[in-house]
Amino acid sequence: MSKAAKTKQFIIEKTAPLFNTKGYAATSISDLTALTGLTKGSIYGNFSNKDEVVVEAFLYNVAIIKREIHKALTQGSNPKEALLNFVDFYRNYWEKLIASGGCALLNAATEADDHLLFLKASVQHNFTLWINRLAGVIEEGQKEGFFKPNISPTDFASTFVMLVEGGILLSRSMGNKKYLDLALDQITHIINKEISN
């Protein structure tokens, strides 16, 4: 890795947590220079503008959660266990999620929808990847006989994402994890009672 690439990666890694906790729009270039110890010129020497830093920081934040979700989905001995591990991951990840500022996708989605329109395509793409990943697990479960053959994997995967994100949003807003737990209980019910053979 070249010196320039290392500096760029350093900026992304140092600033990504701040963007997620403070907000992408609210985080200023002054915040970035204070956090990294670099000058404004150094920041702009590696990124064309703040928008580019925002996108890279968002992708870095999302990559962290994607790795964790992938790990949860690959630990089960079958597709049904994989989905239940996904649910358990969110039950156990709550404190870390709160400490890091909440769900990176949810936070960015709110800002992208309101005023950071340049971020919207990346947010939509990552939600689509998440839905497709879960749908793939359900499809695999259908092939192996764990899940009903006549259900829509994409519809159920989308429902799981909606429940997770809605649970996180309400739990953060209300300061109580019970809302996320209710959402996760519903996903568990769907896995065990609605889609399983």
Split at pLDDT 50, 70, 90, the class of 63 is: very high
| pLDDT score of 20 | 94
In a domain, 90, yes or no: yes
Structural domain span for residue 148: 59-195
Query: How far apart (Å, rounded) are the C-alpha atoms in residues 79 and 73?
Result: 8
Q: Is the pLDDT of residue 76 over 90?
A: no
In a domain, 52, yes or no: no
Split at pLDDT 50, 70, 90, the class of 1 is: confident
Query: How far apart (Å, rounded) are the C-alpha atoms in residues 46 and 43?
Result: 6
CA distances from 30 to 18, 41, 59, 93 (A): 12, 11, 21, 31
| pLDDT score of 114 | 77
- Structure confidence by residue, pLDDT tens digits, 90-143: 999 998 888 888 899 999 999 998 788 999 999 999 999 999 999 999 999 999
| pLDDT score of 121 | 94
- Mean per-residue pLDDT, 136-153: 98
CA distances from 187 to 15, 49, 52, 115, 163 (A): 34, 41, 36, 32, 7
| pLDDT score of 83 | 98
In a domain, 176, yes or no: yes
Counted domains in the chain: 1
| pLDDT score of 97 | 87
pTM of the prediction? 0.92
Token pair listed for 150: 């006549």
Q: What is the CATH number of the domain that holds 126?
A: 1.10.357.10
In a domain, 177, yes or no: yes
In a domain, 96, yes or no: yes
In a domain, 153, yes or no: yes
| pLDDT score of 69 | 95
What lies within 8 Å, CB to CB, of 78 at 6+ separation is 141, 144, 146
Split at pLDDT 50, 70, 90, the class of 178 is: very high
- Mean per-residue pLDDT, 14-38: 95
Residues 18/60, Cβ–Cβ less than 8 Å: no
In a domain, 22, yes or no: no
In a domain, 123, yes or no: yes
Q: Is the pLDDT of residue 30 over 80?
A: yes
